[in-house]
Amino acid sequence: MRLNRKLEHIELSLRQKESAVSTGFDDITLVHNSLPQLNLADVDTSCTFLGKVLQGPLLINAMTGGHPELESINFSLAKAAYTVGVAMAVGSQRAALEDHAVRSSFTVVRDANPDGVILANLGADCTLNEAREAIKMIKADSLQLHLNVPQELAMAEGDRDFRGILQNIELLTKQLTTPVVVKEVGFGMSRETISRLRAAGAAYIDVGGAGGTDFIAIENNRSGRQTRWAWGIPTAISLLEGLAVESPGHLIASGGIVHALDCVKALCLGCSMVGMARPLLKILIDGSTEELTAYLQNLIADIRRIMLMLGARRIADLTSVPAVIGGTTYHWLARRGIE
């Protein structure tokens, strides 16, 4: 069942139309700087994440592994991450904990990128031993724990009991020596959730906001239902919710991010990394590893150009760039009392 589900997720996600929810980034306008006083060659997109240097603050987010047919996808994603110098997370390693025969679909990622930033991935209900095994399997720099309640509820075979997850996250962060990232899968997070996760010891929170891949729609589709719910907190709003309670540096923005301008908007708001999943998978499946590599290289080149137009020489300078927030995002912040 799980193996087929992995293949179906890829197929159905690639067929998915535009999300019923907007990411909110269209509500944000960055203030153009006509006098940046910079040389493009001096604009530096590099950053440090989990103790290693990246060429851009980008993460190929968790997607796949756990089936022999998925090994080549993970290998290609990892090759592109290696060539460009960005981070990558593998998909849930649950299948490999249960069946050693599919481990190579995950270990291939470390083989392709021996010194790069690679994140392990499991559901937030995993045991301490499972977490340790997943990290060891790929010599991971961090463990992502995913939260995906709406997806589980939409899945006929999904979980129904979500008690004790926060306590489990707390136990894992206390016992593991590897930093933990807690992520959503496209439904976003409120400041209350983000505060609780940080208090539980998460080193980073990936807000995984709404506006991109829609896992309720994917699971409904798998069960033959066509219902679409516009569910979740948009990505830009999730990020601003997080920044109401967190200083910049611990938040990762993801969910529906495709273009460099949205990456830069997210960095200006105060995230330290930007994650992308389905858009990158689509480029790889419709094209090739080379096309994915070129896309990521162009993305970084575009981020550099936008940084210059904002007068930002380093990624850290982006948090000082003025941004104007309008539309639904403005009203959301006002109603929630967020300045």
Q: 191, 238 in Cβ contact below 8 A? A: no
How many chain residues are in contact with ligand FNR, going by CB under 6 A? 27
Nearer to ligand FNR, 84 or 310 (CB): 84
Residue type, 126: C
Which of 220, 221, 254, 289 is the binder for ligand FNR (CB under 6 A)? 254
Burial classification of residue 252, based on how many CB atoms lie within 10 Å of its CB (0-12 exposed, 13-18 middle, 19 or more buried): buried
Distance CA 259, CA 261 (A): 6
From the list 30-38, 152-160, 163-171, 278-286, the region that binds ligand FNR by CB under 6 A is 278-286
C-alpha 94/C-alpha 260 separation (Å) is 33
| Min dist. Cβ of residue 206 to ligand FNR (A) | 7
CB-based contacts of 286, cutoff 8 Å, min separation 6: none
- State yes or no: residue 146 binds ligand FNR (CB under 6 A): yes
Assess 91 for contact with ligand FNR (CB under 6 A): yes
Q: Among residues 113 and 121, whose Cβ is nearest to ligand FNR?
A: 121
Q: Does 62 bind ligand FNR (CB under 6 A)?
A: yes
According to the 3-state scheme, what is the secondary structure of 45-110?
Answer: CCEEECCEEECCCEEECCCCCCCHHHHHHHHHHHHHHHHHCCEEECCCCHHHHHCHHHCHHHHHHH
**Could you say whether residue 92 binds ligand FNR (CB under 6 A)?**
yes
Q: Any contact of residue 208 with ligand FNR (CB under 6 A)?
A: yes
Q: Is 83 in the site for ligand FNR (CB under 6 A)?
A: no
Scored b (16 or more CB within 10 A) or e, 215-246 reads bbbbbbbbeeeeeeeebbbbbbbbbbbbbbeb
If the CB atoms of residues 186 and 311 are measured against ligand FNR, the closer one turns out to be 186
Instruction: Tell whether residue 276 is a contact of ligand FNR (CB under 6 A).
Output: yes
The piece of 37-45, 129-137, 179-187, 292-300 that touches ligand FNR (CB under 6 A) is 179-187
Tell me the Ramachandran region of residue 330: left when phi exceeds 0, alpha when psi lies from -120 to 50, beta otherwise. alpha
Does position 22 bind ligand FNR by CB under 6 A?
no
Mark the segment that binds ligand FNR (CB under 6 A) among 106-114, 169-177, 273-281, 311-319.
Answer: 273-281
Residues that bind ligand FNR (CB under 6 A): 9-10, 13, 61-64, 91-92, 121, 144, 146, 183, 185-186, 208, 212-213, 254-257, 276-279, 281
